[in-house]
Structure 1
Amino acid sequence: METIRVIIIDEQPLFREGIRVTLESMGDCEIVGETTDAGEALELVRKYNPDVALVDTGLTKSDPLDIALQARYLAPKMAIIMLTPSEDEELLFQSIKVGVAAYYTRYIKPEELIEAVRKVSQGEYLLNGNVLSKPQIASRVIRSFQLAEEEEPPQNNDSVPSPLSSREVEILSHIAQGNSNKEIASLLKISDQTVKNHITSILKKLSVNDRTAAVVYALRHGWIKLEKQA
């Protein structure tokens, strides 16, 4: 059993203690560092190359989104879970843009946090189901993909052939349109698990850590197209 290495970036000592006790109860999770400081957080990432980072969105002396962005640059395979005092659609959107794997309020139950850490450590992306189902967020994400496509024209398909199967391209196109796993499964008449398996394969083939990066990568190479929004 491989150990899941986790760092905690949170300003409240009592909350950090609660997270640590909860995750250590898993038996295969090691807290390799705790901090409230952005510089120290990035140093922990460099030193330990953790599998998961839990980031408090309520940090008062550091920008949690900036920490997430820089941390993912240092450790592209590390998954980030944002913990927020309350739901905030703008922060949700910005979290998607920087590649955060999961986003929860600080009222998350211990068993839910354990499940989330396990899933994101295995490369799962838990934002889609509860974020892209919100029409306003979905439309903004799609628009951001379109802007990325417009700013950087697709590369020559002949020079960069797609490593994806036709089914994977189909699924990635649905992701780009804001569809959740369940919606994709229903549209393609396949199981949720089959969709998850295809997404895992897509991320591995493209050497990216999240769906957003996969969609933008495919758009820039001309492998998928987006329908223009009215």
Structure 2
Amino acid sequence: MSVTTLIIVHTVSLFRDGLRLALSSTPGFSVVGEASNGQQAIQLVDQVDPDLVLMDTDLPGVNGLEVARVIKRSHPHIAIVLFGPVQSGAFVVKAIRAGVAACVPPNIEFADLLGTLRQVRRGEYPINDLVLASPEVAATVLEAFRQMVGDDDIQTIFSPLSARELEVLELVAAGHTNREIAARLDISNQTVKNHISSILRKLAVNDRTQAVVYAMRRGWIKVMLPNG
């Protein structure tokens, strides 16, 4: 079994201790460092290069969102999970723009947190589930994206993506997981992963969110509000 290395970033030492003990006793996870503020977190990531960063948003000095931006800029392969106000559309927008893979409430049950961490390590973006689960959050997020891709900013240049890749990217933008995309398009999960890898390579971006924003800015794809 491959082991997921992670660091914990939180101001409360007792919280870090409890989380470290719980994760250390869970097969497949290894806590390789801890930090109590944003600057420490950035330095620690440079030193240990973990697979995942589990971090609080409310940090002294540099907050968690800004730390996430810095980490993703220099270590795009590292997945970031934030503790934060998940019912706030404004917060979710900022987290998506920072490249965060998942946001969870501070009072989340450990079993649910573990499930989220495993999703993230599979390359999924549970942050999309937040958008789909709450119409209010969805409206805020999608309105922010619409403002980013207003008619005056759209570049109508030729898309390097194939028709199938654009289809996959539209489903990614709508918040679907790889498995859901595979079912909708009647293709294998591995084929979906191959399409996404090709999309990232062609657009020279680091993650799915960046690919979606890149394509939306150029008018290649549209995002529809989820039903509900």
TM-score (norm 1): 0.79
Q: Give 1:105 shift.
A: 1.2
Identity %: 32
Could you tell me how far 1:46 is from its partner in structure 2? 1.4
Which residue of structure 2 lines up, in the alignment, with residue 56 of structure 1? 56
Say whether 1:190 aligns with 2:183.
yes
Specify the code of the residue in structure 1 equivalent to 2:197: K
Letter of the structure 2 residue corresponding to residue 154 of structure 1:
Q
5+ long unaligned stretches in structure 1: none
Amino acid at match of 2:183: I
Q: Does 1:218 align with 2:196?
A: no
Give the counterpart letter for 2:215 in structure 1.
A
Deviation of 1:175 (Å) = 4.3
CA distance in 2 between partners of 1:193 and 1:4 (Å): 31
Separation in 1, partners of 2:182, 2:120: 26
What displacement does 1:11 show? Answer: 0.6
Alignment map for 1:35-74 (pairs within 5 Å): 35-74=35-74
Farther-moved stretch of structure 1 (72-81 vs 23-32): 23-32
Closer, same or farther in 2 for the Cα pair 1:7/1:44, shift >3 Å? same
Judged with a 3 Å threshold, the aligned counterparts in structure 2 of structure 1 residues 180 and 224 are, in CA distance, closer, same or farther, namely closer
SS of 1:190's equivalent?
A: helix
Residues 1:117 and 2:112 are matched in the alignment? no
- RMSD between superposed Cα atoms in Å: 3.1
- Secondary structure of 2:142's aligned partner: helix
Question: For residues 5-26 of structure 1, what are the alpha-carbon distances to aligned partners after superposition, in whole Å with 9 as ceiling and x for unaligned?
Answer: 1011101111111111121122
CA contact (8 A) 2:6 2:30 kept: yes
The count of aligned residue pairs is 219
* Equivalent of residue 181 in structure 1, options 157, 176, 185: 176
Contact 1:171 1:195 in 2 (8 A): no
d(CA) in 1 for partners of 2:191 and 2:132? 19
Check the 8 A contact 1:128/1:180 in 2, yes or no.
yes
> Who is 1:148 aligned against?
148
Amino acid at match of 1:173: E
One-letter identity of the residue aligned with 2:169: L
Higher RCO (Cα < 8 Å, 6 or more apart): 1
In the alignment, the residues of structure 2 paired with residue 191 and residue 141 of structure 1 have an alpha-carbon distance, to the nearest angstrom, of 24
Taking a change above 3 Å as real, the CA distance of residues 156 and 189 of structure 1, as seen in their structure-2 partners, is closer
Residue 161 of structure 1: how far off its partner (Å): 1.7
- Structure 1 residues 203 and 33: CA distance shift in structure 2, 3 A: farther
User: Residue type of the partner of 1:218?
Assistant: A
Aligned counterparts, 1:3-22, within 5 A: 3-22=3-22
Aligned-partner Cα distance in 1 for 2:185–2:67: 32
Q: Distance in 1 between matches of 2:84 and 2:224?
A: 33
TM-score (norm 2): 0.80
